[in-house]
Structure 1
Amino acid sequence: MLDVADYERIRRRVRIEGKTQRQAADELGHSRNTISKALTHSSPPGYRRKNPPPRPALDPFLALIDAWVKADRSQSRKQRHTGTRIYERLRDEYGFTGSVSAVRRYLAHCKQTQGEVFFPLQFDAGEEGQVDWGQAWCLINGVERKVFLFCLRLCYSSVSYVRAYFQEVQECFLDGHVNAFSFLGGVPRQLAYDNLKSAVITVGQGQDRRLNRHFVALRSHYLFETRFCNVASGNEKGHVENLVKHSQRTFMTPLPTVASLEVLNDHLEAQCRKELDKKAPRREETRGVLLEEERVRFLELPPTPFSACRQQSTFASKQSTVRFDTNDYSLPVRWAHHPVQVKGFVDRIEIWTQEQSVAIHPRSYDRHQYVLDPLH
């Protein structure tokens, strides 16, 4: 078989030295067809199979294999047919005499020809942001701790906002939105989510979702629309998926060493501001310039930010304490045995009764602790 050097020699002999195709064939010992092919292509085109190779043993079973593969799409990934399992069933149940490698080659061919094709989505300024959670580790006051990263990225400008929390719970999710909107200077007209528990209780058909009431209250406060991705379709919010990875590998690498979660969040916000000076992907403008375009289209911020807390109604105990997430918080003794409203914010616990605040404590993220104030 001729290689690219042979082709170059033939082409040079005819095109540069002025030989005829017959003379080049005689001098170089190739056929006239080979000389003609070399003049048409600058390098060997390689072997090309005109027809698929015959599979006499497998061909009668292709429709059956296709049916099994199609049925597997509705099953758990851990309970789908492997190539070996399909081969065993064909052999034991249908008398298949071919090889397991023939089955695997066919399945690989099917995967190549039937794979999904994704197209990048285009967004207008202010149209959509995407939200998701990520995880990372850091050293806080000398202790290695896992933190959860609230991530929001705008689809038009690629401006990002990242904030860390000790838990991936409702009030942190709400607080992340409040701080992100403040950072952006407005509210995107639509936010996209997967079916995370902080927002979605149950998933129905299409866009039908039963939503968490606290999340609905947040949406009502800022009046943005929502778009929920199909199940197991992370590609439908690829902007924020990329932000999660970027945050872990850039903002949180190497492991940040900080005195507190507040210092870590100052670091993350500084990184987000620094990226405003970078060019947006596939754009000539910086992200900061594009953000100004987005702000013109954003929904305006309300006069007061949303109260980002998780609320629960309970009764104060005879020890004049209330429990929130396994921890007990004190309140004045005169409110023992009274009905109270507990508001759990990211950084504090507020206890209310008869529409007045009767106690405020720093929030504890330990378990089974007593947080007491003897000066009530």
Structure 2
Amino acid sequence: MTKSGVTLSLLWNEYCEECRLSGEIPFMYTQFCKNYRDFATVTKATMHIDRKPGEQLEVDWAGQTTPVIDRSTGEAINAYIFVAVLSSSKYAYVEAFLSQNQECWITAHINAYKFFGGVTRILIPDNLKTGVERVSWYTPIINKTYHEMSEHYGTAVIPARVRKPKDKPNAEGTVGVISTWIIAALRHQKFFSLRDLNEAISDKLYEFNTKPFQKKPGSRLSTFLEEERATLMPLPKVQYELATWKIATVQFNYHISVEKMNYSVPYEYIKHKVA
């Protein structure tokens, strides 16, 4: 049933053909469907898992964008929405950026940690190139800058598996809710700077975090303050500073060029690649 084009009617016809070849009497179509529903009910059973406070932070980019108007040209520039969610309290942080490059990705994490006032023990991103250099089922290779940032904050990066959204369900779910609660709510407003957009997002985010839960008492904010804030690891005294890595070949004049500036290195590394 998970394959494209496969229906219960098709499976029933194949099942009937197998029964005829083996000399068995097949179920009628209605009984076949009932048995399938009984089977699906059992195999698709799920269980809610309570996350330990201060343990996980799930991060992702929202699929929808919000336009920012260039004052000089009138051109609409898409702003990308970063979402970070604490797995236990569901307390969220949202910020808009004009790019999804590594600088914005790292900056978003730094600002999220400042917003939460602490650091979780585990960081769960998607398999973006800005976070994961090589995807692997067992040992994904973390981007060097992203790895340095996680070491600076003392957190472990455990990327979600490819095509496994349940590895970070809170981020996936919050992205959908935020798309309605924040992005869609701002669709009639025009923003002429990223600062104006983020100020509007901040107001909507406060409403989102203080909105009462439907099936239990409290809100994301109250749950965070009462249960999770005290369990977060403290922020380092100095926030992480982004470092950009580049591979360069040492020339015969024992210099390398970085952004049109020459830097000398030991002559032993001539014609060797350095980082």
The TM-score with structure 2 as length reference comes to 0.72
| Structure 1 segments unaligned to the other structure (5+ residues) | 1-68, 316-337, 343-350, 356-376
The residue that corresponds to 2:170 in the other structure is 239
Is 1:119 aligned to 2:53, yes or no? no
Distance 1:90 1:121 in 2: 37
The counterpart of 1:312, out of the listed 235, 246, 249, is 246
After superposition, the Cα gap between the structure-2 partners of 1:167 and 1:89, relative to the gap in structure 1 and judged at 3 Å, is farther
After superposition, the Cα gap between the structure-2 partners of 1:100 and 1:340, relative to the gap in structure 1 and judged at 3 Å, is farther
The counterpart of 1:190, out of the listed 113, 122, 137, is 122
1:257 deviates by: 1.4
Contact 2:84/2:112 (CA < 8 Å) preserved in 1? yes
The counterpart of 1:209, out of the listed 140, 155, 158, is 140
The residue that corresponds to 1:229 in the other structure is 160
The counterpart of 1:171, out of the listed 81, 92, 103, is 103
Contact 2:147/2:157 (CA < 8 Å) preserved in 1? no
Q: Percent identity between the aligned chains?
A: 21
The residue that corresponds to 1:133 in the other structure is 61
After superposition, the Cα gap between the structure-2 partners of 1:353 and 1:243, relative to the gap in structure 1 and judged at 3 Å, is farther
The residue that corresponds to 1:340 in the other structure is 257
1:103 deviates by: 10
The residue that corresponds to 2:235 in the other structure is 301
1:131-167 deviation per Cα after TM superposition (whole angstroms, max 9, x unaligned): 1221223332144443322111112322111112233
The residue that corresponds to 2:91 in the other structure is 159
After superposition, the Cα gap between the structure-2 partners of 1:117 and 1:168, relative to the gap in structure 1 and judged at 3 Å, is farther
1:90 deviates by: 6.5
Distance 1:143 1:193 in 2: 32
The residue that corresponds to 2:192 in the other structure is 259
1:95 deviates by: 6.5
1:110 deviates by: 6.4
Distance 2:241 2:180 in 1: 32
**Of the two structures, which has the highest relative contact order with CA contacts closer than 8 Å and spacing of 6 or more?**
2
Which entry has the higher C-alpha Rg, 1 or 2? 1
CA RMSD in angstroms comes to 3.5
Distance 1:139 1:230 in 2: 31
After superposition, the Cα gap between the structure-2 partners of 1:91 and 1:295, relative to the gap in structure 1 and judged at 3 Å, is closer
Distance 1:137 1:131 in 2: 16
Please state whether the residue corresponding to 2:206 is helix, strand or coil.
Answer: helix
1:314 deviates by: 5.5
User: How many pairs align?
Assistant: 248
| Structure 2 segments unaligned to the other structure (5+ residues) | 250-254, 265-275
Please state whether the residue corresponding to 2:51 is helix, strand or coil.
Answer: coil
Distance 1:247 1:108 in 2: 36
Distance 1:277 1:91 in 2: 56
